[in-house]
Structure 1
Amino acid sequence: MDYSRAALADHLAAEYVSGSLRGPARRRFEALLPAHPTLLAAVREWQSRLMPLTVSVEPRKPPAAVWKRIEARIGGATRPPARTSWWSQLALWRGVSAFASIAAIGLAVLLASPGPAQPPVVVVLSATGAAAGAVVPASFVASISGDGRAMVTRPLVNVSLEADRALELWALPGSGAPRSLGLISASGATVVKKAKVLEGATGLAVSLEPAGGSPTGAPTGPVLYVGKLQL
Structure 2
Amino acid sequence: MNYLIQQRRDALAAEYVLGTLHGSARTRFKQLILQYPPIRESVELWEQHINALGSQIKPVAPDPEVWEKVKQRLAFADAKTITNNVVALPVKPAPLWKGLSLLASAAALVLAVLLVQLQPTPAPAIQKFTVMQNEAKESLWLIEITQQTIETKASQKVAQRLQNDYELWMVPANGSSPISLGLLPQKGLASIAKHAQFDQLDIAALAVSLEPLGGSPNGAPTEVLYIAELAIL
Could you state the TM-score of these two structures normalised by the residue count of structure 1? Answer: 0.46
Could you state the TM-score of these two structures normalised by the residue count of structure 2? Answer: 0.46
**Structure with greater proportional helix content:** 1
For the pair shown, the structure with the greater C-alpha radius of gyration is: 2
